Chains A and B, each alone.
Chain A
Amino acid sequence: MTDMPVGERKQLAPPVDDSGPFGWTRKHLFSSWGNGITTLVLIVAVAWILSWFLEWAVFTANFTASTGSECRGGGACWALIREKARLIFFGTFPFEQQWRPFFAVIIMLAMLITTSDRRMWRPWRLLAIWSIGSFFTFLLMFGQLHIPLSLFLVVALVIGGVGMFFRKAIAQAGEMNTYRALAAIGLVGLVLLVLGILPNWKLPIAPFSYVETGLWGGIPVTLILATYGLLFAFPYGILLALGRRSNLPLIKGLCVGFIELIRGVPLISLLIMASVMLPLFLPTGVTFDKFLRAQVAIILFAGAYIAEIIRGGLQSLPKGQFEAADAMGLNYVQKTTLIILPQALRVVIPPLINTFIGFFKDTSLVLIIGIFDFLNTANQALVDPAWAGYPGEVYLFAAFVYFCFCYSMSRYSKYLEVELNKGTRR
């Protein structure tokens, strides 16, 4: 071009203006003939579906009917949702006591929201939030908690033991003495308890009437199964992942076998196993709450999936990190807890949240063994013959509630992915 005489240079048209609403429309909707036709067809289709949906869901909908027959002939019967909202949200929990599951849900949401704040990601803060929050959640749900002395002793022993083991080289003398004292109290107390010298005293906290798990239902059940399922599966998934990466052949074999077995079968088969086989596994006379059995099945199931995610995080660490830790003379536990896990876990937080979304949805499967989770209580709202014939409304409403939970979590996971990579992004 440059060696052509000025007069013979071809004048190109100026580029099409794609600024402003008109330019934007041209660029994104009508850039070519095919594109324009696609846009027009889609606009017609969307307008047709939307007008039909709005007609049904808003303009001809009935919000105030008092029985199902009053809704006949019109659009959506949202009056059904209004009538059955408390059944859908709280199931068969005693009606006049339903403020309790309401506040339990508020507490659980508060725990989840505060945990999602990165300033709270300190072991002691998380421990405080979750132990206090869980205590009040279960106090509200059960109404009465009888905490046995043995639980206090076990907690003291575990805190003392863990502290002594992990903080050996780091802690001040005062802190170490506290751990030693706690461990000693726990150990001596437990031995005395087993020998029968200490009575098995229970701390009764009974402000409300007792409500058994069979009456629980709705949103709190879904939240408890998903949250505590993942909470307990997390440490156990870490152990499985470490076992799978271990040099010790027997440990590795055990972990690989377990993980692949669980991941190869559907959750339903584990739930059926928990509901029909677990009672056979236990000694004669020992019974297990159905809710707890489902929770155990979910924990076992989630553990295997979490292990695979954490394995991904462990594999993403460069070999130098392991070698440097070895060169520093750290033993396996120190190397793992001080060097490896803090880095590996950081990488896997976004996929872990996606797993949580998956389990939040998958808890709906517990309805197959007869537990009243949110989807099951929505089903119960359809049983009433006075309101028969409006399944679409109930399921759409339930879908909307699930969507709100899962969508906000997936946005949070996307945000974290960006936020946590700020250090390494260019």
Chain B
Amino acid sequence: MAVEALSSAPRVKVAPWNDPVIRGWVFQVVVVGLVGLLAWYLVSNTITNLERQKIASGFHYLDREAGFEIGDTMIAYSPASTYARAILVGLLNTLKVSVLGVIMATFLGTAIGVGKLSNNWLLAKICEWYVEAFRNVPLLLWLFLFYKLISEAFPGPRQAIGAFWNTVYLSNRGLYFPVPVADPIYKWMGVALLVGIAGAWALHRWAKKRQELTGQPFPSISAGFGVALGLPIIVWLLGGAPHHMSWPELKGFNFDGGTVIQPEFTALLLGLVLYTSAFVAEIVRSGILALHKGQSEAAMALGLSRGQVMRLVLLPQALRVIVPPMTSQYLNITKNSSLAIAIGYPDLVASINVTINQTGQAIENVLIIMAAYLSISLSISAFMNWYNKRIALRER
């Protein structure tokens, strides 16, 4: 600031060693030079060490056969697949647990945060103690606790608890439930769902525009749901309504058929959601408390219904306070999902850790971890910043 002010005024002649601009540049060059020297020292050490220990470098290992099993995969994978494939499987698992965790923690946390403000004393106290209990204990401890409880408290596959007329089985190997047998029509149903969602969105835009022009409301929410869900059902009926299911059956020591939610995944998701929802609850609560009471009173005086007050007046304002800290909670879920390694869920860090142990190429693998998490973090921040800008107060 001071430098700007000086530069616009006629400059006073000073000796070069007293000129703030020159001093600034000298200081910067010295600091950057020192950092550069340190980096050069570390890199040269690393190169010598790698040569001495005969560790290969470069990313060629990614094309080699991985040779290790992964318990939970979203895409086709076998030990004969490459390391690149194994890392991709881990990355997809990280994304799966993060996305589910973000959605569930948002809903649960909002409910708890609103509950903390309830005028029912008992409900408010219970929500308060929920928040205190979950956020004052390390996440890792919750993960261990849930994992051990699931894997030790539930019976083995042979004594599995059957539910819903023995179509769903709960055991210490996870929750088994039936799934439809693969059919080409399901792919088209997915496409129909996407088309339906796009259609619902267009309908909503049209309804909003019409209401602004003519004042006539249109039930765009229920109509939108109808379009988004109706299209896939029509496609399913047109495709001959395939209804073959794959049922879980006990064969030998384990179940066959159906699909399974594994205990590692359940424990990880449960831990992430319960832990993060405690923080989300505090954010939501402070967002609502930040609003002046006059806002809801004025909206009610205008004759809006309770739902409209919430949707049109309170929420848009509270979101401005809530979104920035919520972004960092979403980032935390993504980063904390890396604790999966401790309970044996095959996420990105777990896949990479096995790869490091097998190939010895630590540097390349740590670079992959960092690049992956950085790009996930940056995309979440970019999206949330865009959303924040959209809902921000427009000052004219």
In the bound complex, how far is the Cα of B32 from the Cα of A364, in angstroms?
35
B270 to A: closest C-beta gap in Å? 14
In the bound complex, how far is the Cα of B153 from the Cα of A389, in angstroms?
9
Interface centre among B2, B31, B48, B363 (most CB of A within 10 A): B2
Asked if A364 and B141 make an inter-chain contact with CB atoms under 8 angstroms apart, the answer reads yes
- CB < 8 Å neighbour of B138 from A248, A326, A362: A362
A347-370 contacts to B (CB < 8 Å): 357, 361-362, 364-365, 367-368
In the bound complex, how far is the Cα of B118 from the Cα of A29, in angstroms?
10
Using A282-B45, A375-B138, A375-B141 as known contacts, say yes or no to A276 and B366 having CB atoms under 8 A apart: yes
B150 to A: closest C-beta gap in Å? 11
In the bound complex, how far is the Cα of B122 from the Cα of A247, in angstroms?
53
Q: Does A281 contact B (CB under 8 A)?
A: yes
Q: Does B120 contact A (CB under 8 A)?
A: yes
B24-38 contacts to A (CB < 8 Å): 24-25, 27-29, 31-32, 35
**Total interface residues in chain B, CB < 8 Å:** 57
In the bound complex, how far is the Cα of B120 from the Cα of A167, in angstroms?
58
Q: Does A254 contact B (CB under 8 A)?
A: yes
Q: Does B195 contact A (CB under 8 A)?
A: no
A18 to B: closest C-beta gap in Å? 12
**Closest residue to B46 on the A side, CB-wise?**
A280
A230 to B: closest C-beta gap in Å? 16
Q: Does A406 contact B (CB under 8 A)?
A: yes
B94 to A: closest C-beta gap in Å? 10
Comparing A34-42, A67-75, A79-87, the segment that makes contact with chain B is A34-42
Q: Does B78 contact A (CB under 8 A)?
A: no
In the bound complex, how far is the Cα of B140 from the Cα of A364, in angstroms?
7
Q: Does A110 contact B (CB under 8 A)?
A: no
Contacts of B121 in A (CB 8 A): 28-29
**Closest residue to A36 on the B side, CB-wise?**
B120
Contacts of B52 in A (CB 8 A): 284
Asked if A268 and B377 make an inter-chain contact with CB atoms under 8 angstroms apart, the answer reads no
**Total interface residues in chain A, CB < 8 Å:** 59
Contacts of A396 in B (CB 8 A): 145
A217-269 contacts to B (CB < 8 Å): 247-251, 254, 261, 263-269
In the bound complex, how far is the Cα of B298 from the Cα of A283, in angstroms?
70
Contacts of A35 in B (CB 8 A): 119-120
Q: Does A122 contact B (CB under 8 A)?
A: no
Comparing B61-69, B99-107, B252-260, B335-343, the segment that makes contact with chain A is B335-343
Q: Does B378 contact A (CB under 8 A)?
A: yes
Q: Does B234 contact A (CB under 8 A)?
A: no
Q: Does A395 contact B (CB under 8 A)?
A: yes
Contacts of A251 in B (CB 8 A): 27-28, 31
A384 to B: closest C-beta gap in Å? 15
Can you name 6 A-B pairs with beta carbons within 8 Å? A249-B28, A269-B370, A273-B362, A279-B49, A281-B45, A375-B144
19 additional contacts (CB under 8 A) given A254-B35, A282-B49, A391-B152 = A42-B123, A249-B28, A261-B374, A265-B374, A266-B349, A272-B369, A276-B366, A277-B363, A280-B362, A319-B1, A357-B136, A361-B139, A375-B138, A375-B141, A395-B141, A395-B148, A396-B145, A403-B133, A410-B136
Binding site for A on B (CB under 8 A): 1-3, 24-25, 27-29, 31-32, 35, 42, 45-46, 48-50, 52, 119-123, 126, 132-133, 135-142, 144-145, 148-149, 152, 335-336, 338-339, 341-342, 349, 353, 356, 362-363, 366, 369-370, 373-374, 377-378
> 5 tightest A-B contacts by CB?
A391-B148, A28-B121, A406-B136, A266-B335, A361-B138
